[in-house]
Structure 1
Amino acid sequence: MKENTKTALVVSAHSADFVWRAGGAIALHAQQGYDVHIVCLSFGERGESAKLWRLGNMTEAKVKAARREEAEAAAGALGAAAVEFFDIGDYPMRTDKETLFRLADVFRRVQPEFVLSHSLKDPYNYDHPLATHLTQEARIIAQAEGYKPGETVVGAPPVYCFEPHQPEQCEWRPDVLLDITDVWDKKYAAIQCMAGQEHLWEYYTRVALQRGVQAKRNVGITSKRNIVYGEGYQSLFPRVTENLG
């Protein structure tokens, strides 16, 4: 990490989640000079790699290798500073203290200005809220003076939940709409890296267009910004500000 460079942290349950749900934010902030660090808790090798398994003559090791290659290519297309893989497994995903402390150490090392992860609820995929709760707890531990005394603690970076696949059922309601029009080409290039889930490429293009329409409406008809593509986020904490403009 370069000295005095702003940073961000994205915690993704599976190796493709950060692409669909936060690829625009990653590319946009990388373009603005942020070092964006991505943690993939798993490769999604069991539950999110159906196309690979259907090829036949497949092993879990081969699937993981393919998913790693896709995720690294996608992170590169987005301009991320780093992507690391915890490889804790999926379907089901389970965590322990070692994983929690490992992620807390990432917080300490990265010192993020903001954090992105999944919705707090998801009845379709229990790995997703588990990832968010792990992220939240790791953030709290990284703030504690008594955890590895002498290290620089983390402040209070805002946490944003990116859009789940079924937002209504996940009780997810966006209160932040991010204009990603200028970096949509980078996000779509990253999406195309995820060959194992090609069926989602156009779905998330439609999501981006829908959020773009909503974002454009919310900046008002007099805005000069030509918003086409957007991403939605739900904040977990109040925004502290000196004005409401």
Structure 2
Amino acid sequence: MTKTALVISAHAADFVWRCGGAIALHAGMGYEVTVLCLSFGERGESAKLWKEEGMTLEKVKAARRGEAEAAAEALGVHELICMDLGDYPLELDRSDRDRVVDVIRKVQPSFMMSHSQYDPYNTDHMYTTQVALECRMIAQAWGHNPGEKVLGAPQLYLFEPHQTEQMGWKPDTFLDITPVWEKKRAAMECMNGQVHLWDYYTRVAQQRANHFKRNSGGQAGGRDCKYAEGFQSVFPRTVDEL
């Protein structure tokens, strides 16, 4: 059976900065990775676009959609779903949440990814993770739309927030993305609305590579790594060996 993964992203660019390497790496392994963007980040994360003369909300949304589609293609995303629910603030009603549940059940992900559980700088992010947790729970319920295939127990990995120290985010997993770094960088460069983040997230990947090397054995034989991403798992992991 084809393995699958699901990324639930508050805004159209979040999946690129925070787990683009994981997406590209797993796509290369044969995973079908679905990215669900709840909004385009058109109000709060598109300052560069809003500074252009004659800009409108619809023009910003169209630009961010185009960027997300180009980035998804660069990363090898299987399907990009844009719900266009608006941002700042992001709000989902019951029918919106049911749509998220439908996506989760359709994808049947081996693992899921979303934001940190706390983010005082951007409440859209932590709101998205609460939605992801709630919808994961509902997707597991046999009594929700009986007859559909229920969800198992995929891990929910929380990708790195922008100001880690303020978010209570503690990584327990480091992923070597060196083999697909050029794909992630190409995807980042699709995000013309946030050029200031291109080099920032390059530095983050290099710093996490140092942590990968340290935790894989350090100077006493640790595996080399140039670029990495960090994640925090929500649920206990079941493994056969450490």
Question: TM-score higher than 0.5 here?
Answer: yes
Equivalent residues of 2:16, 2:184 under 8 A apart: yes
Match of 1:103 in 2: 100
Q: What pairs up with 1:1-245 in 2 under 5 angstroms? A: 4-220=1-217, 221-223=219-221, 225-243=223-241, 245=242
Deviates more, 1:185-194 or 1:92-101: 92-101
Equivalent residues of 2:113, 2:157 under 8 A apart: yes
Q: How many angstroms does 1:241 deviate by? A: 1.8
Letter in 1 for 2:236: P
Q: How many angstroms does 1:223 deviate by? A: 4.1
> Which ranges of structure 1 fall in alignment gaps of 5 or more residues?
none
Equivalent residues of 2:215, 2:222 under 8 A apart: no
SS at match of 1:208: helix
TM-score of the aligned structures, taking structure 2 as reference length: 0.98
Equivalent residues of 2:216, 2:222 under 8 A apart: no
SS at match of 2:135: helix
Equivalent residues of 2:213, 2:222 under 8 A apart: no
Deviates more, 1:213-222 or 1:26-35: 213-222
Equivalent residues of 2:115, 2:125 under 8 A apart: yes
Root-mean-square deviation (Å) = 0.9
Aligned partners of 1:242 and 1:205: how far apart in 2?
34
Q: How many angstroms does 1:99 deviate by? A: 1.1
SS at match of 2:165: coil
Aligned partners of 1:136 and 1:104: how far apart in 2?
10
SS at match of 1:232: strand
Aligned partners of 2:240 and 2:63: how far apart in 1?
47
Runs of 4+ aligned residues of structure 1 deviating over 4 Å after TM superposition are none
SS at match of 1:200: helix
Q: How many angstroms does 1:242 deviate by? A: 2.6
SS at match of 2:152: coil
Aligned partners of 1:108 and 1:223: how far apart in 2?
42
- Residue by residue over 1:104-154, the C-alpha shift from the partner in whole angstroms, topping out at 9 and shown as x without a partner, is 000110000000000000000000001000011111101000111001000
Aligned partners of 1:69 and 1:226: how far apart in 2?
36
Aligned partners of 2:146 and 2:6: how far apart in 1?
22
Aligned partners of 2:30 and 2:206: how far apart in 1?
25
Deviates more, 1:187-196 or 1:224-233: 224-233
Q: How many angstroms does 1:226 deviate by? A: 2.4
> Which ranges of structure 2 fall in alignment gaps of 5 or more residues?
none
- Residue by residue over 1:67-122, the C-alpha shift from the partner in whole angstroms, topping out at 9 and shown as x without a partner, is 00000000000001010101110011111111111000001100000000000000
Aligned partners of 1:146 and 1:224: how far apart in 2?
48
Letter in 1 for 2:97: L
Letter in 1 for 2:66: E
Aligned partners of 2:91 and 2:155: how far apart in 1?
25
Letter in 2 for 1:57: G
